Structure 1
C-alpha cells in the first residue's frame, strides 16, 4: 500500500493525543579540514543496515536524532515506535548490530543530544511538549522541562546545546494549521527559565549552532528556508535573517547539522536526500541514496563522527528505517552530532 508522504510530525499532531497512548517529517583539503566541492556535486551514500520495520500499531517508522555517545555507539530515536518497542536504540555501526536503550508508554521522541553540562541524553517529546533526559545507559528517565512558554505549549522538534549546557529548542507550533507560529526557545541548563528568542517562523524544525557558537541555523519546514539567528553574549537574540532558500520541490526542510568548516547539512522530508551548503549559502553537494533503493521517503538527520568525516544518515519510509553512510565534506564536531 502506498503511503502518503505527509509529514510524520503533522500526522502525530493531527491525531492529537495519539493512539500511541498512540514529528522532523525528507577534493582538496585545507588547513581547517574542509574539502572543496563542485556546485551540484552528488555524494552517494551506501546502506549500512536496516534498523526498524514499519510498526503495525502506528503504520510507520521514523528514525531521527542520531548522536554518538562517548563509547562510539550511535544513539537513534524512532519517533513513531509504540509503547513497549524501542524508542531509543544504541547501534554499533561497525558490527551492524543494535539494542534497545529505552522505551516507555507515551513519548514521541524527535531528537536526541548529550548535554555538555551533565552528560545526560536529552530527548524532545513532540507530542507532549516536553524535554526528557536519560542517563547515558538509557535509565533514570526525568522530565527536564514541561509546560507553556509565554502562555503557549511547545511542540519541541530538535534541540542544540551551547557550550555552557543551555538548551535551544525548535518549537514547531502552527505545523498542522499552516500558520507561521513556530518559535525558537532557550531553556537554561537547570530547566527553570524558558525564553522565546524568535517567533513567527514557519514550523521551526532543524536547529544547530554554527561552528563557533555565535549563532543558530534554523530550518522552517513550511517555508523551505534556512534562517540565521545571531546571538548576543548572554544568549539573547541580536539579529535574524533569511539565509538560504531551499529549492526542495515536493520535499521540505527537516533537521540541520554543521561541520567543522561551517558547512550546513539540510535534511529533506519527502526525498531521501540531504543538501549541503557552505556558510555563505553556496550549494556544495547533495547526499543521495542509490537510485535503486525503494520505499524510502525521507532523510531526517545526520551524525558525523566527531573528529572524522564518516557520516551516518537516518532514512525512513515504507521499506523501514535505515542507516546510510557517506564521507562528509569536513570533519564532525558537536554541531554535527545530535539534535
Structure 2
C-alpha cells in the first residue's frame, strides 16, 4: 500500500498476497511540461446526481485474499456483461459473465497465476483480452476457451505491469502500464502493442501511476487518468497512432480521499471517470466541465469502496458499473448521458 494512501483500505493492494503484486492505481504525467497545481483546470461542484440501482451481486470476499475487486465490464453482442475479479485466487472464477436482465452470473475462465485487471473485446478478432498485472496480456475466446499469451516480456528494457486497455479501429492495443509504482515516483507508461503482438512501443512515460486509458470518439487521441495526482490528461496521436503529437493535463478531479481509476467515453465525448476509494463516478464534458456524479444508494455505499469502471450499451444508454468493497462485488446500473460506443465498453 503506498505511503500516500493510508486513509482507506486498498483492495488492489491485496494483490501482493495473490501474486506478489503491488497497488493497481494510475495517474498521468507526461513527458511534456504540465501545469502547476494552481493552474489545474477545475469545475465547480459535482454537477447533477445520477442515481444507480443494483443489478447483480456477483462476488463475495475470498477467504484466501480477504477481498474481492470487480473490474473491466464489457458487453458482448448478446448483451452479456463480462467482468474480471482482480483478487480471485487460483481456482476461483477470474472472468465472469453476468446477465444484466436477471442478475444471474457464471464463471467463464480461471487459471493458477493471473491477476486480471481489465477486459476488452478486440474489434479485430473478437477475442476477449485481459491485462494481467503480473506482466502478460492474455486473450481468450468469449466462452473462456483457447487461452493464449498475446504479449509478455520487457518493453524498452523494463517489465510491464499492465492495467487497462484501449483498442484502435484496426485492433492495435494501447495499455496503461503501472511499472514502478512507488510513492512519489512517476515511472508509469502508455504502451502501444501491434495487433499481432510483435511490436511494443512506449508512447508516453514518466507518468504517475496511469490507470484509465481510452480513445475519444474520433480515435484521434487518448484520455488517460492519473491516479497518484487525480488528473486526466489528453494525448493527441499522430496520423499513424504510433507516436504522441501533443500532450496536456486536461482535468483535475476533485475527489477527496478517492482517486482516479478507469475511464469510458460516450458518443458525445463525455468522460466517465471511475473513482477508487468512493463508490461513484465523475462525468465530465470533453471541455472539462463536471456534468454529473453517478452515486449508489447511501445505505449500500457504506459497505462499498470503489467504482472501478463502466460499460455503456453500444447504441443505447444503459450503463453498468463495477462496484466493490467489504460487502462484495456488484454491478450497478444507471442511464448514461449519451449513447454508448465501442469506447464506452470495457477497458
Fold match, TM over 0.5?
yes
Q: How does 1:57-136 map to 2 (within 5 A)?
A: 57-126=64-133, 128-136=134-142
Q: Which residue of 1 aligns with 2:34?
A: none
Question: Are 2:25 and 2:228, in contact at CA under 8 Å, matched by a contact in 1?
Answer: no
Query: Cα offset for 1:16?
Result: 8.1
Hey, what's the Cα distance between the residues in 1 that align with 2:10 and 2:202?
Answer: 25
Of 241, 251, 254, the match for 1:244: 251
Task: Identify the range of structure 1 (60-69 vs 3-12) with the bigger mean alpha-carbon deviation.
Answer: 3-12
Q: Which residue of 1 aligns with 2:180?
A: 174
Deviation string, structure 1 residues 241-264 (Cα, Å, up to 9, x no partner): 000001111100000000000000
Gaps of 5+ in 1: 26-37
Q: Which residue of 1 aligns with 2:267?
A: 260
Which portions of structure 1, spanning 4 or more consecutive aligned residues, are displaced by more than 4 angstroms?
none
Q: Which residue of 1 aligns with 2:346?
A: 338
In structure 2, relative to structure 1, the CA distance for the partners of 1:245 and 1:4 (3 Å cut) is: closer
RMSD: 1.6
Matched, 1:231 2:234: no
* Alignment length (residue pairs): 320
Matched, 1:9 2:9: no
Hey, what's the Cα distance between the residues in 1 that align with 2:17 and 2:99?
Answer: 34
Query: Cα offset for 1:196?
Result: 0.3
Deviation string, structure 1 residues 190-214 (Cα, Å, up to 9, x no partner): 0000000001111000000001100
Question: Are 2:46 and 2:282, in contact at CA under 8 Å, matched by a contact in 1?
Answer: no
Three-state SS of the structure 2 residue aligned to 1:279 is coil
Query: Cα offset for 1:4?
Result: 6.9
Question: Are 1:24 and 1:255, in contact at CA under 8 Å, matched by a contact in 2?
Answer: no
Question: Are 2:57 and 2:103, in contact at CA under 8 Å, matched by a contact in 1?
Answer: no
Deviation string, structure 1 residues 103-139 (Cα, Å, up to 9, x no partner): 110100000001111111000001x211000012111
Three-state SS of the structure 2 residue aligned to 1:292 is helix
Q: Which residue of 2 aligns with 1:159?
A: 165
Hey, what's the Cα distance between the residues in 2 that align with 1:302 and 1:198?
Answer: 25
Three-state SS of the structure 1 residue aligned to 2:170 is coil
Deviation string, structure 1 residues 144-186 (Cα, Å, up to 9, x no partner): 0001100011110000000000000000123234311110000
Gaps of 5+ in 2: 1-5, 27-44
Hey, what's the Cα distance between the residues in 2 that align with 1:178 and 1:135?
Answer: 39
Q: Which residue of 2 aligns with 1:31?
A: none
Of 277, 297, 301, the match for 2:309: 301
Query: Cα offset for 1:5?
Result: 2.8
Deviation string, structure 1 residues 261-312 (Cα, Å, up to 9, x no partner): 0000000000000000000000000000111113100000000011100100
Hey, what's the Cα distance between the residues in 1 that align with 2:46 and 2:282?
Answer: 11
Query: Cα offset for 1:17?
Result: 3.7
Query: Cα offset for 1:70?
Result: 1.7
**What is the TM-score with the length of structure 2 in the denominator?**
0.89
